[in-house]
Protein backbone atom coordinates (compact mmCIF):
# COMPACT_ATOMS: atom_id res chain seq x y z
CA UNK A 1 0.00 0.00 0.00
CA UNK A 2 1.31 3.44 -0.96
CA UNK A 3 0.90 5.67 2.05
CA UNK A 4 -0.45 9.20 1.69
CA UNK A 5 2.22 11.75 2.63
CA UNK A 6 1.24 14.20 5.37
CA UNK A 7 2.85 17.56 6.22
CA UNK A 8 2.06 19.69 9.25
CA UNK A 9 2.31 23.49 9.15
CA UNK A 10 2.77 25.08 12.61
CA UNK A 11 4.43 22.82 15.16
CA UNK A 12 2.62 23.88 18.34
CA UNK A 13 0.49 22.15 20.94
CA UNK A 14 -2.59 21.31 18.85
CA UNK A 15 -0.36 20.02 16.03
CA UNK A 16 1.37 17.65 18.44
CA UNK A 17 -1.48 16.56 20.71
CA UNK A 18 -4.17 16.16 18.06
CA UNK A 19 -2.87 16.12 14.47
CA UNK A 20 0.48 14.29 14.75
CA UNK A 21 -0.91 12.03 17.48
CA UNK A 22 -3.79 10.97 15.23
CA UNK A 23 -1.88 10.53 11.96
CA UNK A 24 0.52 8.18 13.78
CA UNK A 25 -2.40 5.83 14.48
CA UNK A 26 -3.30 5.42 10.77
CA UNK A 27 -1.34 2.99 8.65
CA UNK A 28 -2.64 4.55 5.40
CA UNK A 29 -0.71 7.79 6.03
CA UNK A 30 2.80 8.86 7.10
CA UNK A 31 3.95 12.24 8.35
CA UNK A 32 6.89 13.26 6.16
CA UNK A 33 7.55 16.83 7.30
CA UNK A 34 6.73 19.61 9.72
CA UNK A 35 7.05 23.33 8.95
CA UNK A 36 7.32 25.81 11.76
CA UNK A 37 8.45 29.36 12.24
CA UNK A 38 11.65 28.61 14.17
CA UNK A 39 14.14 25.93 13.12
CA UNK A 40 14.79 24.79 16.72
CA UNK A 41 11.16 24.17 17.56
CA UNK A 42 10.54 22.55 14.16
CA UNK A 43 13.48 20.19 14.71
CA UNK A 44 12.39 19.37 18.25
CA UNK A 45 8.83 18.73 17.06
CA UNK A 46 10.12 16.42 14.31
CA UNK A 47 12.37 14.52 16.75
CA UNK A 48 9.68 14.10 19.40
CA UNK A 49 7.18 12.82 16.84
CA UNK A 50 9.44 10.65 14.67
CA UNK A 51 9.00 12.92 11.62
CA UNK A 52 11.91 12.56 9.16
CA UNK A 53 12.27 16.17 7.96
CA UNK A 54 11.56 19.70 9.17
CA UNK A 55 11.45 23.09 7.43
CA UNK A 56 10.97 26.76 8.19
CA UNK A 57 9.95 27.57 4.59
CA UNK A 58 6.66 26.04 3.42
CA UNK A 59 7.40 26.61 -0.30
CA UNK A 60 10.61 24.59 0.03
CA UNK A 61 8.71 21.84 1.83
CA UNK A 62 6.07 21.60 -0.96
CA UNK A 63 8.76 21.50 -3.65
CA UNK A 64 10.73 18.72 -1.96
CA UNK A 65 8.08 16.61 -0.28
CA UNK A 66 5.06 16.83 -2.59
CA UNK A 67 2.62 15.95 0.25
CA UNK A 68 -0.93 14.66 -0.33
CA UNK A 69 -2.41 15.88 2.95
CA UNK A 70 -1.62 18.99 4.99
CA UNK A 71 -2.66 20.04 8.50
CA UNK A 72 -2.68 23.79 9.12
CA UNK A 73 -1.96 24.39 12.81
CA UNK A 74 -0.42 27.85 12.64
CA UNK A 75 -1.89 30.90 14.45
CA UNK A 76 -5.20 32.25 13.09
CA UNK A 77 -3.77 35.06 11.00
CA UNK A 78 -1.79 32.60 8.86
CA UNK A 79 -4.66 30.15 8.17
CA UNK A 80 -5.71 31.84 4.93
CA UNK A 81 -2.22 32.03 3.44
CA UNK A 82 -1.30 28.50 4.53
CA UNK A 83 -4.56 26.86 3.41
CA UNK A 84 -4.42 28.56 -0.01
CA UNK A 85 -0.81 27.49 -0.48
CA UNK A 86 -1.69 23.88 0.40
CA UNK A 87 -4.75 23.79 -1.88
CA UNK A 88 -2.77 25.31 -4.77
CA UNK A 89 -0.15 22.60 -4.22
CA UNK A 90 -2.94 20.03 -4.81
CA UNK A 91 -3.24 18.86 -1.20
CA UNK A 92 -6.26 17.90 0.91
CA UNK A 93 -6.35 20.19 3.93
CA UNK A 94 -7.38 20.02 7.57
CA UNK A 95 -7.25 23.53 9.06
CA UNK A 96 -7.58 24.39 12.70
CA UNK A 97 -10.39 26.68 13.81
CA UNK A 98 -11.24 29.45 13.21
CA UNK A 99 -11.13 29.09 9.41
CA UNK A 100 -9.59 32.55 8.94
CA UNK A 101 -9.79 36.15 10.15
CA UNK A 102 -12.15 37.55 7.47
CA UNK A 103 -15.17 35.99 5.76
CA UNK A 104 -13.76 36.93 2.35
CA UNK A 105 -10.74 34.74 3.10
CA UNK A 106 -12.94 31.80 4.14
CA UNK A 107 -14.95 32.24 0.93
CA UNK A 108 -11.78 32.08 -1.20
CA UNK A 109 -10.60 29.01 0.72
CA UNK A 110 -13.94 27.27 0.06
CA UNK A 111 -13.94 28.20 -3.63
CA UNK A 112 -10.34 27.15 -4.17
CA UNK A 113 -11.00 23.75 -2.57
CA UNK A 114 -14.04 23.29 -4.82
CA UNK A 115 -12.20 24.43 -7.95
CA UNK A 116 -9.24 22.14 -7.26
CA UNK A 117 -11.51 19.27 -6.16
CA UNK A 118 -9.70 18.94 -2.82
CA UNK A 119 -10.98 18.14 0.68
CA UNK A 120 -11.04 21.18 2.97
CA UNK A 121 -12.06 20.43 6.56
CA UNK A 122 -11.96 22.50 9.74
CA UNK A 123 -11.32 21.02 13.16
CA UNK A 124 -14.67 21.91 14.74
CA UNK A 125 -14.34 18.77 16.82
CA UNK A 126 -17.29 19.15 19.22
CA UNK A 127 -19.79 18.23 16.49
CA UNK A 128 -18.09 14.81 16.30
CA UNK A 129 -19.04 13.95 19.91
CA UNK A 130 -21.47 11.08 20.48
CA UNK A 131 -23.62 13.74 22.15
CA UNK A 132 -23.94 15.89 19.02
CA UNK A 133 -24.44 12.79 16.86
CA UNK A 134 -27.33 11.66 19.07
CA UNK A 135 -29.02 15.08 19.04
CA UNK A 136 -28.61 15.43 15.27
CA UNK A 137 -30.29 12.01 14.80
CA UNK A 138 -33.16 13.02 17.07
CA UNK A 139 -33.59 16.31 15.20
CA UNK A 140 -33.83 14.32 11.96
CA UNK A 141 -36.38 11.96 13.55
CA UNK A 142 -38.51 14.99 14.47
CA UNK A 143 -38.37 14.35 18.23
CA UNK A 144 -38.23 18.09 19.05
CA UNK A 145 -40.67 19.47 16.49
CA UNK A 146 -39.65 22.99 15.53
CA UNK A 147 -36.56 24.09 17.52
CA UNK A 148 -37.11 27.82 17.90
CA UNK A 149 -34.81 28.88 20.77
CA UNK A 150 -31.16 27.86 21.22
CA UNK A 151 -28.60 29.04 23.75
CA UNK A 152 -24.91 28.38 22.99
CA UNK A 153 -22.42 29.10 25.77
CA UNK A 154 -18.61 29.11 25.69
CA UNK A 155 -17.91 30.88 28.95
CA UNK A 156 -14.87 31.13 31.20
CA UNK A 157 -14.90 33.00 34.50
CA UNK A 158 -11.19 33.76 34.43
CA UNK A 159 -9.71 31.97 31.43
CA UNK A 160 -7.72 34.49 29.44
CA UNK A 161 -5.07 32.31 27.74
CA UNK A 162 -1.66 33.16 29.19
CA UNK A 163 0.32 31.93 26.14
CA UNK A 164 0.37 32.61 22.39
CA UNK A 165 -1.31 35.69 20.92
CA UNK A 166 -4.86 35.32 22.22
CA UNK A 167 -5.12 38.90 23.52
CA UNK A 168 -3.75 40.44 20.30
CA UNK A 169 -6.58 41.58 18.03
CA UNK A 170 -4.61 41.65 14.79
CA UNK A 171 -3.14 38.17 15.31
CA UNK A 172 -6.34 36.51 16.47
CA UNK A 173 -9.13 38.50 14.81
CA UNK A 174 -10.88 38.93 18.17
CA UNK A 175 -11.31 37.41 21.62
CA UNK A 176 -13.55 34.65 22.98
CA UNK A 177 -16.05 34.78 20.10
CA UNK A 178 -13.52 33.84 17.41
CA UNK A 179 -11.54 31.54 19.71
CA UNK A 180 -14.07 29.48 21.69
CA UNK A 181 -17.50 30.85 20.76
CA UNK A 182 -17.02 29.46 17.23
CA UNK A 183 -16.87 25.94 18.68
CA UNK A 184 -20.31 26.10 20.27
CA UNK A 185 -21.70 28.01 17.26
CA UNK A 186 -20.63 25.17 14.97
CA UNK A 187 -21.94 22.50 17.35
CA UNK A 188 -25.32 24.27 17.61
CA UNK A 189 -25.63 24.85 13.86
CA UNK A 190 -24.59 21.27 13.12
CA UNK A 191 -27.33 19.85 15.36
CA UNK A 192 -29.86 22.23 13.77
CA UNK A 193 -28.74 21.36 10.21
CA UNK A 194 -27.11 24.74 9.47
CA UNK A 195 -30.30 26.83 9.02
CA UNK A 196 -29.98 30.03 7.00
CA UNK A 197 -29.29 33.22 8.95
CA UNK A 198 -31.45 36.33 8.58
CA UNK A 199 -29.65 38.83 10.85
CA UNK A 200 -27.50 39.21 13.95
CA UNK A 201 -27.42 41.66 16.86
CA UNK A 202 -24.62 41.75 19.42
CA UNK A 203 -22.87 43.53 22.24
CA UNK A 204 -19.37 43.00 23.60
CA UNK A 205 -17.38 44.18 26.60
CA UNK A 206 -13.81 44.68 27.75
CA UNK A 207 -14.12 45.05 31.52
CA UNK A 208 -11.77 42.56 33.19
CA UNK A 209 -9.03 41.41 30.77
CA UNK A 210 -7.47 44.89 30.68
CA UNK A 211 -7.37 45.12 34.49
CA UNK A 212 -6.52 41.71 35.95
CA UNK A 213 -3.46 39.67 34.96
CA UNK A 214 -3.86 36.13 36.31
CA UNK A 215 -6.42 33.36 35.97
CA UNK A 216 -6.97 29.66 35.44
CA UNK A 217 -5.12 29.72 32.09
CA UNK A 218 -2.02 31.55 33.33
CA UNK A 219 -0.88 35.16 33.35
CA UNK A 220 -1.27 37.88 30.75
CA UNK A 221 -0.30 41.53 30.35
CA UNK A 222 -3.42 43.69 30.90
CA UNK A 223 -1.77 46.63 29.12
CA UNK A 224 -1.67 44.47 25.94
CA UNK A 225 -5.22 43.13 26.28
CA UNK A 226 -6.84 44.25 22.99
CA UNK A 227 -9.81 41.91 22.48
CA UNK A 228 -13.29 41.66 23.99
CA UNK A 229 -13.48 39.69 27.25
CA UNK A 230 -17.17 38.84 26.90
CA UNK A 231 -19.53 38.73 23.95
CA UNK A 232 -23.31 38.31 23.67
CA UNK A 233 -25.18 37.91 20.42
CA UNK A 234 -28.53 37.00 18.93
CA UNK A 235 -28.72 35.17 15.62
CA UNK A 236 -32.12 35.15 13.92
CA UNK A 237 -32.73 32.42 11.37
CA UNK A 238 -34.84 32.71 8.22
CA UNK A 239 -37.08 29.92 9.59
CA UNK A 240 -38.00 32.20 12.53
CA UNK A 241 -35.72 30.55 15.13
CA UNK A 242 -33.39 32.38 17.50
CA UNK A 243 -29.88 31.42 18.70
CA UNK A 244 -28.29 33.25 21.60
CA UNK A 245 -24.48 33.06 21.91
CA UNK A 246 -22.69 33.94 25.15
CA UNK A 247 -18.93 33.67 25.31
CA UNK A 248 -16.17 35.00 27.55
CA UNK A 249 -12.52 34.79 28.56
CA UNK A 250 -13.38 36.65 31.77
CA UNK A 251 -16.81 37.21 33.30
CA UNK A 252 -18.02 37.13 36.88
CA UNK A 253 -20.09 33.95 36.71
CA UNK A 254 -20.29 31.16 39.28
CA UNK A 255 -18.85 28.31 37.21
CA UNK A 256 -15.24 28.35 36.11
CA UNK A 257 -16.19 27.20 32.60
CA UNK A 258 -19.31 26.32 30.61
CA UNK A 259 -19.21 24.82 27.10
CA UNK A 260 -22.71 23.77 26.19
CA UNK A 261 -25.74 24.30 23.99
CA UNK A 262 -29.40 24.14 24.98
CA UNK A 263 -32.11 23.53 22.42
CA UNK A 264 -35.80 24.33 23.02
CA UNK A 265 -38.28 22.74 20.63
CA UNK A 266 -42.07 22.55 20.51
CA UNK A 267 -42.20 18.96 21.75
CA UNK A 268 -38.92 18.56 23.66
CA UNK A 269 -35.73 20.30 24.66
CA UNK A 270 -32.13 19.15 24.98
CA UNK A 271 -28.75 20.04 26.35
CA UNK A 272 -25.66 18.95 24.43
CA UNK A 273 -22.93 18.04 26.96
CA UNK A 274 -23.88 15.47 28.10
CA UNK A 275 -26.72 14.89 25.65
CA UNK A 276 -30.01 14.88 27.49
CA UNK A 277 -33.43 15.17 25.91
CA UNK A 278 -36.38 16.13 28.05
CA UNK A 279 -39.98 17.19 27.93
CA UNK A 280 -42.74 18.08 30.34
CA UNK A 281 -45.69 15.97 31.39
CA UNK A 282 -48.22 17.86 33.52
CA UNK A 283 -45.52 19.89 35.22
CA UNK A 284 -43.08 16.99 35.71
CA UNK A 285 -39.74 16.75 33.88
CA UNK A 286 -39.58 13.63 31.71
CA UNK A 287 -36.11 12.51 30.52
CA UNK A 288 -36.30 10.96 27.06
CA UNK A 289 -32.54 10.46 26.61
CA UNK A 290 -29.88 10.71 29.26
CA UNK A 291 -26.19 10.24 28.48
CA UNK A 292 -24.62 10.29 31.96
CA UNK A 293 -21.33 11.74 30.73
CA UNK A 294 -20.30 13.76 27.72
CA UNK A 295 -17.95 12.21 25.17
CA UNK A 296 -14.45 13.41 26.23
CA UNK A 297 -12.84 16.14 24.16
CA UNK A 298 -10.00 13.81 23.10
CA UNK A 299 -12.56 11.45 21.49
CA UNK A 300 -14.15 14.37 19.65
CA UNK A 301 -10.77 15.40 18.21
CA UNK A 302 -10.00 11.82 17.23
CA UNK A 303 -13.30 11.43 15.37
CA UNK A 304 -12.85 14.78 13.63
CA UNK A 305 -9.38 13.72 12.41
CA UNK A 306 -10.65 10.23 11.48
CA UNK A 307 -13.43 11.69 9.34
CA UNK A 308 -10.92 13.94 7.56
CA UNK A 309 -8.49 11.11 6.80
CA UNK A 310 -11.35 8.83 5.67
CA UNK A 311 -12.62 11.58 3.39
CA UNK A 312 -9.12 11.99 1.89
CA UNK A 313 -9.14 8.23 1.25
CA UNK A 314 -12.36 8.62 -0.74
CA UNK A 315 -14.96 7.61 1.84
CA UNK A 316 -18.28 9.42 1.92
CA UNK A 317 -18.19 10.81 5.45
CA UNK A 318 -19.19 14.08 7.11
CA UNK A 319 -16.52 16.72 7.79
CA UNK A 320 -16.85 20.35 8.89
CA UNK A 321 -16.40 21.55 5.31
CA UNK A 322 -15.33 24.71 3.51
CA UNK A 323 -18.90 25.94 3.08
CA UNK A 324 -19.76 25.60 6.75
CA UNK A 325 -16.44 27.25 7.67
CA UNK A 326 -17.41 30.17 5.44
CA UNK A 327 -20.82 30.44 7.13
CA UNK A 328 -19.21 30.47 10.59
CA UNK A 329 -16.72 33.13 9.47
CA UNK A 330 -19.53 35.28 8.02
CA UNK A 331 -21.39 34.98 11.32
CA UNK A 332 -18.33 35.92 13.38
CA UNK A 333 -17.68 38.93 11.15
CA UNK A 334 -21.32 40.08 11.27
CA UNK A 335 -21.50 39.60 15.06
CA UNK A 336 -18.34 41.70 15.60
CA UNK A 337 -19.63 44.36 13.21
CA UNK A 338 -22.97 44.50 15.01
CA UNK A 339 -21.24 44.86 18.38
CA UNK A 340 -18.91 47.59 17.06
CA UNK A 341 -21.61 49.61 15.31
CA UNK A 342 -24.46 48.97 17.76
CA UNK A 343 -26.87 47.94 15.00
CA UNK A 344 -28.33 44.69 13.65
CA UNK A 345 -26.55 43.24 10.62
CA UNK A 346 -28.48 41.37 7.92
CA UNK A 347 -26.72 38.55 6.09
N1 LIG B 1 -9.69 22.72 17.82
C2 LIG B 1 -9.33 23.18 19.01
O3 LIG B 1 -9.96 22.92 20.03
C4 LIG B 1 -8.09 24.01 19.14
C5 LIG B 1 -7.39 24.06 20.35
C6 LIG B 1 -6.25 24.84 20.43
C7 LIG B 1 -5.81 25.58 19.33
N8 LIG B 1 -6.53 25.54 18.18
C9 LIG B 1 -6.11 26.35 17.02
O10 LIG B 1 -4.88 25.86 16.53
C11 LIG B 1 -4.06 26.94 16.06
C12 LIG B 1 -2.71 26.86 16.77
O13 LIG B 1 -2.93 26.93 18.17
P14 LIG B 1 -1.90 26.29 19.24
O15 LIG B 1 -2.59 26.36 20.54
O16 LIG B 1 -1.35 25.00 18.74
O17 LIG B 1 -0.78 27.42 19.20
P18 LIG B 1 0.78 27.27 19.45
O19 LIG B 1 1.27 28.66 19.72
O20 LIG B 1 1.07 26.18 20.43
O21 LIG B 1 1.33 26.75 18.01
C22 LIG B 1 1.42 27.54 16.87
C23 LIG B 1 2.68 27.11 16.12
O24 LIG B 1 2.73 27.75 14.84
C25 LIG B 1 4.06 28.19 14.61
N26 LIG B 1 4.03 29.32 13.67
C27 LIG B 1 3.80 30.63 13.91
N28 LIG B 1 3.83 31.32 12.77
C29 LIG B 1 4.08 30.44 11.78
C30 LIG B 1 4.24 30.56 10.40
N31 LIG B 1 4.12 31.73 9.77
N32 LIG B 1 4.50 29.42 9.68
C33 LIG B 1 4.59 28.22 10.29
N34 LIG B 1 4.46 28.06 11.62
C35 LIG B 1 4.19 29.15 12.36
C36 LIG B 1 4.56 28.61 15.99
O37 LIG B 1 5.97 28.64 16.02
C38 LIG B 1 3.97 27.50 16.85
O39 LIG B 1 4.81 26.38 16.88
C40 LIG B 1 -4.85 28.23 16.34
O41 LIG B 1 -5.48 28.62 15.16
C42 LIG B 1 -5.87 27.82 17.38
O43 LIG B 1 -7.09 28.54 17.29
C44 LIG B 1 -7.63 24.76 18.06
Residue 323 lies in a domain: no
Q: Mean pLDDT across the chain, nearest whole number?
A: 97
Considering the domain architecture, whether residues 170 and 63 belong to the same structural domain is answered as no
- Helix residue ranges per DSSP H, the chain: 13-14, 21-23, 39-48, 58-65, 79-88, 103-115, 130-141, 169-172, 176, 182-192, 297-312, 322-341
Considering the domain architecture, whether residues 24 and 79 belong to the same structural domain is answered as yes
Averaged pLDDT for residues 112-117: 98
Residue 137 lies in a domain: yes
pLDDT digits (tens, 9 = 90+) for 130-178: 999 999 999 999 999 999 999 999 999 999 999 888 999 999 999 999 9
pLDDT digits (tens, 9 = 90+) for 191-220: 999 999 999 999 999 999 999 999 999 999
Q: Which of 8, 58, 75 to mutate to test the pocket of ligand 1 (most atoms within 8 A of CB)?
A: 75
Confidence of residue 69 (pLDDT cuts 50, 70, 90): very high
Predicted local confidence at residue 180, as pLDDT: 98
Q: Which of 54, 96, 99 to mutate to test the pocket of ligand 1 (most atoms within 8 A of CB)?
A: 96
What CATH number is given to the structural domain containing 242? Answer: 3.30.360.10
- Provide, rounded to the nearest whole percent, the portion of the chain with pLDDT above 90: 99
Considering the domain architecture, whether residues 28 and 89 belong to the same structural domain is answered as yes
Averaged pLDDT for residues 238-251: 98
Predicted local confidence at residue 164, as pLDDT: 83
Whole-number Å distance, alpha carbon 315 to ligand 1 midpoint, is 28
pLDDT at position 108 over 90: yes
What CATH number is given to the structural domain containing 118? Answer: 3.40.50.720
Considering the domain architecture, whether residues 143 and 280 belong to the same structural domain is answered as yes
Considering the domain architecture, whether residues 89 and 162 belong to the same structural domain is answered as no
Confidence of residue 1 (pLDDT cuts 50, 70, 90): confident
Considering the domain architecture, whether residues 190 and 338 belong to the same structural domain is answered as yes
Predicted local confidence at residue 230, as pLDDT: 98
Q: Using an 8 Å Cβ cutoff, are 160 and 166 in contact?
A: yes
Considering the domain architecture, whether residues 54 and 148 belong to the same structural domain is answered as no
Give the other-Cβ count within 10 Å of 215's Cβ: 20
Q: Which atom of ligand 1 lies nearest, measured to the CA of 301?
A: 1
Residue 223 lies in a domain: yes
pLDDT digits (tens, 9 = 90+) for 258-292: 999 999 999 999 999 999 999 999 999 999 999 99
Predicted local confidence at residue 238, as pLDDT: 98
Q: Which atom of ligand 1 lies nearest, measured to the CA of 45?
A: 39
Phi, psi at 244, each rounded to 5°: -105, 130
Predicted local confidence at residue 125, as pLDDT: 98
Q: Which of 7, 9, 12, 182 to mutate to test the pocket of ligand 1 (most atoms within 8 A of CB)?
A: 12
- Three-class SS state of 147: strand
Considering the domain architecture, whether residues 9 and 62 belong to the same structural domain is answered as yes
Whole-number Å distance, alpha carbon 235 to ligand 1 midpoint, is 29
Considering the domain architecture, whether residues 186 and 152 belong to the same structural domain is answered as yes
Tally of domains within the chain: 2
Considering the domain architecture, whether residues 66 and 79 belong to the same structural domain is answered as yes
Considering the domain architecture, whether residues 191 and 332 belong to the same structural domain is answered as yes
- Exposure letters 257-295 (e unless 16+ CB within 10 A, then b): bbbbbbbbbeebbbbbbbbbbebeeeeeeeeebebeebb
Whole-number Å distance, alpha carbon 165 to ligand 1 midpoint, is 10
Whole-number Å distance, alpha carbon 124 to ligand 1 midpoint, is 15
Confidence of residue 236 (pLDDT cuts 50, 70, 90): very high
Provide the domain limits for residue 77: 4-124+303-318
Phi, psi at 88, each rounded to 5°: -70, -25
Whole-number Å distance, alpha carbon 98 to ligand 1 midpoint, is 11
pLDDT at position 225 over 90: yes
pLDDT digits (tens, 9 = 90+) for 16-67: 999 999 999 999 999 999 999 999 999 999 999 999 999 999 999 999 999 9
- Ligand 1 interacting residues, C-beta cut-off 6 A: 9-15, 35-38, 41, 73-76, 78, 96-97, 123, 125, 164
Considering the domain architecture, whether residues 284 and 188 belong to the same structural domain is answered as yes
pLDDT at position 322 over 90: yes
Q: Whose Cα sits closest to atom 31 in ligand 1? A: 37
Amino acid sequence: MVKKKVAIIGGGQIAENVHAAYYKTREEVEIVAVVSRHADSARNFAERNGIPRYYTDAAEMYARENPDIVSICSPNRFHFEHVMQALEAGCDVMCEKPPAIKSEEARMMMETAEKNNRVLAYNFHHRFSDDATLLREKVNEGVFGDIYVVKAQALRRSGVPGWGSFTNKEAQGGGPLIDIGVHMLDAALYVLGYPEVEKVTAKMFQKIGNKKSKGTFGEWDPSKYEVEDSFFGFIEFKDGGLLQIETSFALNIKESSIMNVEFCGERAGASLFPAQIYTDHEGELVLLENRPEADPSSNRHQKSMAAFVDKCLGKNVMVADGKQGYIIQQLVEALYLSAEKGVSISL
